[in-house]
Amino acid sequence: MEMQRSKGVNIKNLTRTYIIHGGNSEFKAVDNISIDIKAGEFVTLLGPSGCGKTTTLRMIAGFEIPTEGEIFLGGDKINNLTPDKRDTAMVFQSYALFPHLNIYDNIAYGLRIKKMNKEELDKKVKDIIELVGLNGMEQRYPNQLSGGQQQRVALARALVMEPGVLLFDEPLSNLDAKLRVYMRTEIRKIQKKVGITAIYVTHDQSEAMSLSDRIIIMNKGIVEQVGTPKEIYYTPATQFVADFIGTANFIDGNIISIKDNKAVIKVGDVELNLPYKGTKKEGDSCKIVLRPEAIQIDKKGLFKGKIIASTFMGAFQDYTIQLENSVLKCEDFNPQIKKIYEEDQEVFISFHEDNVHII
């Protein structure tokens, strides 16, 4: 089943303002954001609660009206179209299935409203049921299905309409942890197979990392960074992004000199020669972002520290290390073949220059 109709989405200077406290003040849920999403791309809006991601999705769907700005779908402006006139379909967190209809009729519902002829409808519904792996369950009702199966029905019901863009509003948050991991793999597999444009909202970073071609990180109504999962993880644009995706250590330093995409950065008494392509100048203070898995612990190294916590986590030994001016988290993988350091032991830490990022 090929879906050649997938469309790009362009958002220009989009703002959504709410009037609060009896009209005395305003709250900008979304603050002048611009985003370009290519046809066939899987893009995730990621951020903490209240960052504006769901409001953005609801504006694309037509459930919220923008205060300012424009939304284009496949090059056409859709601001003034009602949700049913937009070439989009939404998969909700609550599944929103009709309890009195069986699975077949739930999936066929939208096509019947479009007055599609019986033969074509039957073929489309059967194709979609096969695609989402629900063969043999057509006559069951929603209350006879597991959460994961209900989520597949919701996905099938959206896909069968062959929308230009598929919208997901935290669709897996009602499922248990193992099923979530399984279902996100399934969603990505189906999206790639049909080639549909997908915009997905979540606050779960591992979900965003595993699903997305690109991630849009939002915070307080603005876009902090847009990039591939690797770009966001290894080269975060801001401290917020570094802190929100994975675990990050921050070491304060001062820039002594910059030359040929390299910066000499002083941290305490140590001078580090590190790759740098940013906009800071000599004399500026900076932060070095260092991921826990990038730290090496040894009997010699760049910085002297003391182990203040050492916890066995199975796949890795989790250390908290006190340096002179900062506390670092370190994950030392495959501890079975490594030396395990205990609390109060003096250690040295080092890292490869390619594993650090400066903001």
The mean pLDDT value for 230-251 works out to: 95
Is the pLDDT at 358 greater than 60? The verdict is yes
Length of the chain: 359
Q: In which residue are the tokens 């910059």 written?
A: 258
Q: Which CATH architecture has domain 247-358?
A: Beta Barrel (2.40)
Sign of the C-alpha dihedral, residues 161, 195, 10, 30?
positive
The mean pLDDT value for 51-80 works out to: 97
pTM tops 0.85, yes or no: yes
Cα gap 174→95, rounded to integer Å: 10
For residue 9, the surrounding DSSP H or E stretch is strand 9-20
Domain boundaries defined on the chain? 9-239, 247-358
Q: Which CATH number does the domain 9-239 belong to among 1.10.10.10, 3.30.70.2190, 3.30.70.360, 3.40.50.300?
A: 3.40.50.300
Alpha helices in the chain (DSSP H): 53-61, 103-113, 118-131, 147-159, 177-194, 205-211, 229-234, 239-244
Is the pLDDT at 3 greater than 70? The verdict is no
Q: Are 233 and 217 in contact (CB under 8 A)?
A: no
More confident residue, 222 or 280: 222
Neighbours of 11 (CB within 10 A): 21
Question: Can you give the pLDDT at residue 95?
Answer: 85
The mean pLDDT value for 168-183 works out to: 90
The mean pLDDT value for 157-186 works out to: 92
For 103-120, write each residue's pLDDT tens digit.
Answer: 999 999 999 998 999 999
Question: Can you give the pLDDT at residue 21?
Answer: 75
Question: Can you give the pLDDT at residue 4?
Answer: 54
119: helix, strand or coil:
helix
Spell out the residues 6+ positions from residue 20 whose beta carbon is closer than 8 angstroms to its own.
26, 27
Percentage of residues of the chain with pLDDT beyond 90: 87
Round the average pLDDT of the chain to a whole number and report it.
93
For 10-63, write each residue's pLDDT tens digit.
Answer: 999 999 999 987 777 899 999 999 999 999 999 999 999 999 999 999 999 999
Winning range, highest mean pLDDT, from 22-26, 171-175, 340-344:
340-344
The mean pLDDT value for 260-281 works out to: 91
Is the pLDDT at 302 greater than 80? The verdict is yes
Q: Of 1-10, 180-189, 272-281, where does mean pLDDT reach its minimum?
A: 1-10
